[in-house]
Amino acid sequence: MNQRIEAPEVERQHEPLRDAIASVMGRWVSERPGDDYWRSPLVGVAAAEDPMFALLPRVVDPEHAMPGDLLSGARSVIVFFLPFRREVGNANDASGRMAARGWAEAYVATNSLIGEICLRLSDHLADAGHRSAVTPATHNFDAVKLVSLWSHKHLGYIAGLGTFGIHHMLITSAGCCGRLGSVVTTMPLPPTSRPDREFCLEKAGIECSACVPKCMRDALGAEPFDRRACYAQCLENDKHHADLPLVDVCGKCACGVPCSHEAPNLP
């Protein structure tokens, strides 16, 4: 089993992972000065045998994969979050019905960057004598049910990166504006502790719901979440930015709200 140890020691053991991610990000931006969309990355780790994984077929989809489905002998799941710069989220909030151009471009660039990061982490793990497996940053979902079969945001929750908001986004200490990636490995790593409080103001019992009216398709505010209405808006944005690769994104509910770029402080 992955040994659960004190938080400062966990941070120290995870530092090489953050350094590897940051180095890829730094090289990316130096080679593509126009693609400077991100703040410092966050990293969390979950033990592959964490019992919360067994809940995913119920809370996400019956066919949701387990770490061992992706990699035999899996011991850890590394999850990282690349938070967007505030100006990226602010521009998306101010762009009206359609996603801002910069938000769409950041989505395309981040998906490619996540692929590069996963390759670098895989090399880092191989140098230490361990195998790894990765999945795409996006478009790994069931196209009929519109649910992910390897949900990065649920992995992020299990790995201690944050809690869910009523907009169904993962709110991290750096907010919810950004993208998640993950790597499964045979390397045993100390798991990250999960937050001891809700990062969503509404879920913490403080009146907010600022994200609900942001949705252009009224997909929020009722249960169950109307994922088909949400995805229809994402596809509308893809048509709007037709000169770009697939950009089935929106993000309006994540922008211009208290949890956009940080976990809000409780009164």
pLDDT in tens, 129-178: 999 999 876 555 555 566 788 999 999 999 999 999 999 999 999 999 99
The shares of helix, strand and coil residues in the chain, as percent rounded to the nearest 5, are: 35, 15, 50
Tell me the backbone φ, ψ of residue 258, rounded to 5 degrees: -60, -25
- Residues 115, 245: contact at Cβ < 8 Å? no
Question: What tokens does 260 get?
Answer: 């956009």
Residues 236, 228 contacting (CB under 8 angstroms): no
Is the predicted pLDDT of residue 123 greater than 90, yes or no? Answer: yes
Residue 267: the pLDDT is 78
Over the stretch 67-115, which tens digit does the pLDDT of each residue have? 999 999 999 999 999 999 999 999 999 999 999 999 999 999 999 999 9
pLDDT in tens, 167-226: 999 999 999 999 999 999 999 999 999 999 999 999 999 999 999 999 999 999 877 889
pLDDT attached to residue 143: 58
Q: How high is the pLDDT of residue 173? A: 97
First and final C-alpha spacing in the chain: 39
pTM: 0.93
| Mean pLDDT for the stretch of residues 47-74 | 95
Give residue 142's pLDDT.
52
Spatial contact of 145 and 198, defined as CB atoms under 8 Å apart: no
Band (pLDDT 50/70/90 cuts) for residue 8 is confident
Inform me whether the pLDDT recorded for 52 exceeds 70: yes
Residue in the structure block whose two tokens are 């048509």: 239
Q: Is the pLDDT reported for residue 48 higher than 80?
A: yes
pLDDT of residue 135: 83
Residue 3 above 80 pLDDT?
Answer: no
Q: Cα–chain-centroid distance for residue 249? A: 14
Span 19-39, average pLDDT? 95
Average pLDDT over residues 229-251: 96
